[in-house]
Amino acid sequence: MKKFLRASLIVLLASSIGTSWAATKVKPSAQTPGKAAPAASSVSVARDPYLGAIAVDAADGRVLFEDNADAKGYPASTLKLMDLLIILEKIESGALKLSDKVTATADAAKVGGTQVWLRDNEVFSVDELLYAMMVQSANDAATALAIHIAGSKEAFVELMNQRAKALGMDSTIFQSVHGLPPSAGQAHDVATPRDFARLCLELLKHKDTLRYTSAVERQFRVVPETIIRNHNHLLENYRGSKPHNFKGCDGLKTGYIKAGGYCIATTAKVGEHRVVVVIFGSLTSEGRDAKTRELMSKSLADIGAWRAKHPVAQAPAPALAINVAAGARPGPTPQAPIPPQPMPAAPPMQEQSKPSGGMNGATIAIIALSGAVVVLLAILFVTRRPRDQGNGF
């Protein structure tokens, strides 16, 4: 009996050990049987205060601040800045006009997320759809523009990736024209704060960029009435809920998806100084905006201090041209202009003998002296000669 109990105890112990080992190797699924496991995108990369951030001087691209600026995150709707760049470049090249009419397709009309509720075959101008895309962050407007320009969403995404590569956005891969979370089997749009700072600097070269990004509110459709409103609470003229107005802020774009957190690419100009700040992956919009304000304030102050120490960097072109013409060498440490020096006195020029039809003073003096000598000799000769006999004079 004791042997039987001992054997039973050994079997039970072995069974429990095997069960616990198996549990450590394969964790039981928390999903209800029959349902697929959640996609990896459901795990947020957002951090407190952010996943990564960067601030740059818009004048020369000089990095003023960076913290994990090469962290790969999900740009969400800030991605529409690339849409804007491609469209503005096509307009400036003459391939597209702001007045061109765009007909919304069924594909554009069914896009979800933030939208202006485009209907199949509804027609708007490129200009109106750009406002809808940049102010309202309308995904259907972005889709309609992409299809109109490239023929399909996929073809436009290819344009986006080509432009990103040309700009040196080496860590960026676009998968969509709007930045929405990917569907099953699709991948996320991926970028870094540093890459998006490059994109922002390129956009600021185009005069129409800030016209779209600084608009706070605008009527998009009359019937039914549709008012579009900006989501960037930092805009100087923002008057919506939870305003965090920053003086001089006139762009650029916000974004949010659950997996990526709150993102922003913004710019502000105070006096002659402009800064660009990009933040990816904040846990809250309030935290993102607070950090953005902090970075813009400090960066603008840093730009001012740097310019004060390097005045040549902000000198107007005519002044620089004058310095170069005066002999100064342009550069980070300019030399003081050299005052003009008086020309040295020229040595007296030697007279060279040259044929002449007249006599100069020296010749006349010699002739006069010779004549005097002849006269003197003649007088001496006469006085010493015997006198004649006969009549005198």
CATH number at residue 231: 3.40.710.10
Residue 25 lies in a domain: no
**Is the pLDDT at 324 greater than 50, yes or no?**
no
Q: How far apart are CA 289 and CA 232, in angstroms?
A: 9
Mean pLDDT along residues 297-306: 96
More confident residue, 32 or 181: 181
80 is known as an active-site residue: yes
Q: How far apart are CA 70 and CA 73, in angstroms?
A: 9
Q: How far apart are CA 301 and CA 345, in angstroms?
A: 54
Summarised one tens digit per residue, pLDDT across range 356-379 is 444 444 444 444 555 554 444 444
More confident residue, 48 or 33: 48
> What single-letter amino acid sits at 80?
K
From residue 24, alpha-carbon distances to 17, 21, 27, 260 in Å are 11, 5, 6, 31
Residue 250 lies in a domain: yes
CB 256 within 8 Å of CB 262: yes
Provide the token pair at 237.
Answer: 């003229």
Mapped onto helix, strand or coil, the DSSP state of residue 54 is strand
Tell me what pLDDT residue 128 has: 98
Mapped onto helix, strand or coil, the DSSP state of residue 191 is strand
Tell me what pLDDT residue 240 has: 80
Q: Is the peptide bond before 193 cis (omega within 30 degrees of 0)?
A: no
Domains in the chain, number: 1
Mean pLDDT along residues 302-324: 60
Residue 11 lies in a domain: no
Q: How far apart are CA 18 and CA 20, in angstroms?
A: 6
Of the candidates 41, 72, 80, 269, the residue annotated as catalytic is: 80
CB-based burial, 54-89: b 16+ in 10 Å, e otherwise = bbbbbbeeeebbbbbbebbbbbbbbbbbbbbbbbbb
Q: How far apart are CA 218 and CA 228, in angstroms?
A: 5
**Is the pLDDT at 11 greater than 80, yes or no?**
no
77 is known as an active-site residue: yes
Residue 193 lies in a domain: yes
| Strand (E) or helix (H) holding 357 | none
Mapped onto helix, strand or coil, the DSSP state of residue 338 is coil
Residue 242 lies in a domain: yes
Residue 133 lies in a domain: yes
Of the candidates 77, 282, 285, 299, the residue annotated as catalytic is: 77
More confident residue, 240 or 215: 215
From residue 353, alpha-carbon distances to 349, 367, 368 in Å are 13, 19, 21
**Alpha carbon 16 to chain centroid distance?**
64
**Is the pLDDT at 383 greater than 80, yes or no?**
no
Summarised one tens digit per residue, pLDDT across range 209-231 is 999 999 999 999 999 999 999 99
Which residue is it, tokens 């049987």? Answer: 33
Q: Where in the sequence is the domain holding 122, given as residue range(s)?
A: 41-309
Residue 326 lies in a domain: no
Summarised one tens digit per residue, pLDDT across range 155-197 is 999 999 999 999 999 999 999 999 999 988 899 999 999 999 9
The pTM of the full predicted model, rounded to 2 decimals, is 0.70
Which of 2-6, 166-170, 243-247, 264-268 shows the lowest per-residue confidence on average (mean pLDDT)?
2-6
Tell me what pLDDT residue 263 has: 98
Residue 161 lies in a domain: yes
CB 173 within 8 Å of CB 188: no
Summarised one tens digit per residue, pLDDT across range 73-93 is 999 999 999 999 999 999 999
Of the candidates 137, 214, 282, 285, the residue annotated as catalytic is: 137
Mean pLDDT along residues 302-312: 89
C-alpha triplet 49, 74, 81: angle, nearest 5°: 105
- State the pLDDT confidence band at 312, using cuts at 50, 70 and 90: low
- State the pLDDT confidence band at 310, using cuts at 50, 70 and 90: confident
Q: What percent of the chain has pLDDT over 70?
A: 68
More confident residue, 36 or 163: 163
